[in-house]
Amino acid sequence: MSKTLITHDLKARVSSVLNRDTKQFGKKFMFDGNDETCWNSDEGSPQWVKFEFPSAVCIASICLQFQGGFVGKVCTLEGQVTGTEEFQLLTECYPEDSNALQTFAVDAVKTVQRVKITFKESTDFFGRVTIYKLDILGDWSSC
């Protein structure tokens, strides 16, 4: 059974933060469990989120809750497969322009320690992406 891989020792980076206001729109708000807070990117495409896990993981799915109107239309999940330097495509997904929590299964399940979610396009004219919840589900072991 898959469980959350988001832990306190997870290292996260984002492409940008709206007006550089990390106190109000920073990356930590994607997984703080508060429905009122969010990560809000600045303008421009693509936007991305990178994670480094403390040890190798096997990712089964990703869960995303956007703000409608600020949704990443074309998303790719790439992973740095254990023992390699390059990121490899794990899955591509096409979220709906909705406020609902959406879950996407990972097609190419591999053991990774780093992942990158890229939002190639946005439903927002300026390319902004707003995420209220992000979760990565899987196991703390090899696939």
CATH of the domain at 74: 2.60.120.260
pLDDT digits (tens, 9 = 90+) for 132-143: 999 999 999 777
pLDDT digits (tens, 9 = 90+) for 50-83: 999 999 999 999 999 999 999 999 999 999 987 7
Q: Cα–Cα distance between 118 and 107 in angstroms, integer?
A: 16
pTM of the model: 0.93
Q: State which residues form the domain around 67.
A: 3-139
Instruction: Identify which of 25, 26, 90, 38 has the alpha carbon closest to the alpha carbon of residue 64.
Output: 38
Q: Domain total for the chain?
A: 1
